[in-house]
Structure 1
Amino acid sequence: MPYPLTPLSGGDNKQPNPPNEPWAHLAADDPGAELARDARVWKVYVWETDKWDAELVDGWNKSLDLLLVFAALFSAISTSFLLESSGMLKQDPNAVSASALIAISQALIAIANSSSFDPATTLGIGPDSLTPFTPSRNAVVINTLWYLSLSISIATSFLAMLAKEWCASFAAKFVANRTGHPCDQAHRRTQKWTMIERWKMQEIITFLPSLIHVSLLLFSIGLCVYLWDLNTTTAIPVICVSGAAIIFYMLASSKSTDKATSNALAYIQALSFLKPPRRSDKDKGTSISDTEVMIQDFALEQ
Structure 2
Amino acid sequence: MDTMNNVLEVLKDSTIASKDGKDVRSRFWTIHKRVAEEHDGEFLERYTSDMDIVLVFSVLFSAVSTSFIVAMESSLSPDPSDTTNALLTQLVQIGFGNIDAAGIEPVAPASAWSPPMSTVRIQAIAYASLCLSLLAAFGAMLGKQWLGYYKSSR
Q: TM-score surpassing 0.5? A: yes
Q: Percent identity?
A: 25
Instruction: Determine whether 1:62 maps to 2:62.
Output: no
Instruction: Determine whether 1:105 maps to 2:107.
Output: no
Task: Tell me which residue corresponds to 1:6.
Answer: 8
| Distance change (3 Å), C-alpha of 1:65 and 1:57 | same
Task: Tell me which residue corresponds to 1:44.
Answer: 31
Question: Counterparts of 1:73-88 in structure 2 under 5 Å?
Answer: 73-88=60-75
Q: 2:147 aligns with which of 159, 167, 172?
A: 167
RCO greater where, 1 or 2, for CA within 8 Å and sep 6 or more? 2
Task: Tell me which residue corresponds to 1:233.
Answer: none
Conserved 8 A contact 1:6-1:29: no
Q: Distance in 1 between matches of 2:51 and 2:101?
A: 65
Q: CA deviation digits over 1:175-203, x for unaligned, max 9?
A: xxxxxxxxxxxxxxxxxxxxxxxxxxxxx
Q: CA deviation digits over 1:92-134, x for unaligned, max 9?
A: 22332233223333443x43xxxx425599x7636x7574432
Question: Which structure would you say has the larger Rg?
Answer: 2
SS at 1:146 equivalent = helix
- State the Cα distance separating 1:155 from its structure 2 match: 1.5
- State the Cα distance separating 1:156 from its structure 2 match: 1.4
Paired AA for residue 156 in structure 1: A
- State the Cα distance separating 1:55 from its structure 2 match: 0.6
Q: Distance in 1 between matches of 2:66 and 2:13?
A: 63
TM-score when normalising by structure 1: 0.43
List alignment gaps of at least 5 residues for structure 1: 9-13, 175-302
TM-score when normalising by structure 2: 0.79
Q: 1:117 aligns with which of 78, 88, 99?
A: 99
Q: What is the CA RMSD across the aligned residues, in angstroms?
A: 2.9
Conserved 8 A contact 1:90-1:135: yes
Paired AA for residue 68 in structure 2: F
Question: Counterparts of 1:1-302 in structure 2 under 5 Å?
Answer: 5-7=7-9, 16-17=13-14, 19=15, 21=16, 23-25=17-19, 29=23, 34=25, 39-108=26-95, 110-111=96-97, 116-118=98-100, 125=106, 129=109, 131-174=111-154
Task: Tell me which residue corresponds to 1:239.
Answer: none
List alignment gaps of at least 5 residues for structure 2: 1-5
Conserved 8 A contact 1:75-1:150: yes
